[in-house]
Amino acid sequence: MRNYFEDVALRLESRLRGAEHFTAVFSGEISDFVRANAGRVRQAGRVQQQSVAIDWIDARRHATCELALCGDLALDGPRLDAAVDALREQVAVVPGDPHLLYATDVRSTEVLRKGRLPEGDALVEALLAGGPVGSPAAERVGIGASGAIVRGFANSLGQRNWFFSESFHLDWSLHAESAAVKASYAGTEFDASELARRDDRALEQMGALTRTPREVVPGRYRTYLAPSALEALTSLLGWGGFGLRAQRTKASPLLRLVEGEARLAEAVALRENGAAGIAPNFERAGFLRPESVSLVQAGRHAGYLVSPRTAVEYGAPTNGAEPDEAPTSLEMDPGPLAQDDVLRELGTGLYVSNLWYLNYSDRPACRTTGMTRFATFWVERGQLVAPVAPMRFDDTLYHLLGGGLIALTREREEILDPETYGGRSTRSARLPGALVDGLTFTL
């Protein structure tokens, strides 16, 4: 795909007139995929696709379009020409954009991040985990994808950036009647023993789900949030929490943290770690991203994500954030709690594997509401006792990651966004689990 990306860029350059300028973002993937339910493969195959997003610019006027490509310039070339003609017509009549900003300092790069991936039959075997018909493994439902994701940037100034990353994700659940356990495994280095460990944990939880459910009345309970549950909270926090625009317009749920009126626990450190994620090291206007941007350090506000448009509007330097200014490679520092000691340290309370349907119930207070999902258990004296029906929680992140935080786990999970709508996502997170002294459940 690299050579074809260069061909597309040269074709666009040949269409320039006068003072016109362009930026182009090339996106592609070569992915093996599999979908299964009831322990059997229902769909499997390979996807190879590529597209280009073009921004055609004349002074401060510009227009954009996105074009799917077949990979043959004899066919794609005329379509690119027609797209440029259409964009030029639009640019002639649109008003100037006061917040337009694109890279003019040419900084070309190449990043190749090769991984060790399950492919073909190995991907299928990984998703099914070899479970015989009639066992809990036979009631598996899940998806898996593995392969390369590429991104390229080109502009009429001669800048070229190429990013190649190999990764995989397996996302599955085990079902028995109305109960289910969800599990996932993702990353860049596939390890069959790690997959087996996560599957054994899911099977153990599945066995606990067959016990008589425990009714838990609304109230505040000591709770362990597994990394996947914490990811749901931090993902919501990314909705305006770390962007400069939301902070300057007073719309950020972390405004009290930004202004020094509140703080999180000293153990909490969050950063955008682009050097470790699977997202490209550049954004769509050609600005390079730093390897790391500190967002929260020792529980205090430490920085923000700044898109090019926000940089113009508020007179701040951009650090290559996407337009939504949400993290693409969020990382949280680990803590001292060993994963094997979680149940013992929890003692009596709730073990929460997953959260969903999250939203803000009081955005200025960073108060979040949502539901538990899949395997939530009542724990007594460090032992899983019984499953708990889905419950609604409502609590502030200043408590969960602040005064109520007891400890973060030493082990962290690499969580890749399993979204594949239109193409595999490049968002990821690396997070520990969190033991909190009281999560408020309202029903």
Reported pTM = 0.92
**DSSP one-letter code for 394:** E
Contact 318, 289 (CB under 8 A): no
Q: Per CATH, which fold does 2-209 belong to?
A: PmbA/TldD fold (3.30.2290)
Q: Which amino acid is at 249?
A: T
148-to-3, 32, 104, 117, 414 alpha-carbon distances in Å: 16, 9, 29, 10, 17
Residue whose entry in the numeric block shows the structure tokens 């495994």: 185
Instruction: Render each residue's pLDDT in the chain as its tens digit; 443 residues.
Output: 999 999 999 999 999 999 999 999 999 999 999 998 877 888 888 999 999 999 999 999 999 999 999 999 999 999 999 999 999 999 999 999 999 999 999 999 999 999 999 866 788 888 776 444 344 544 778 899 999 999 999 999 999 999 999 999 999 888 877 778 989 999 999 998 898 888 888 888 888 888 888 999 999 999 999 999 999 999 999 999 999 999 999 999 999 999 999 999 999 999 999 999 999 999 999 999 999 999 999 999 999 999 999 999 999 999 999 999 999 999 999 999 999 999 999 999 999 999 999 999 999 999 999 999 888 999 999 999 999 999 999 999 999 999 999 999 999 999 999 888 889 999 999 999 999 999 999 98
Q: List the chain domain ranges.
A: 2-209, 219-441
State both tokens at 405: 């935080």
Residue whose entry in the numeric block shows the structure tokens 């949400």: 326
State both tokens at 355: 């959260």
Phi, psi of 251 (to 5 degrees): -100, -5
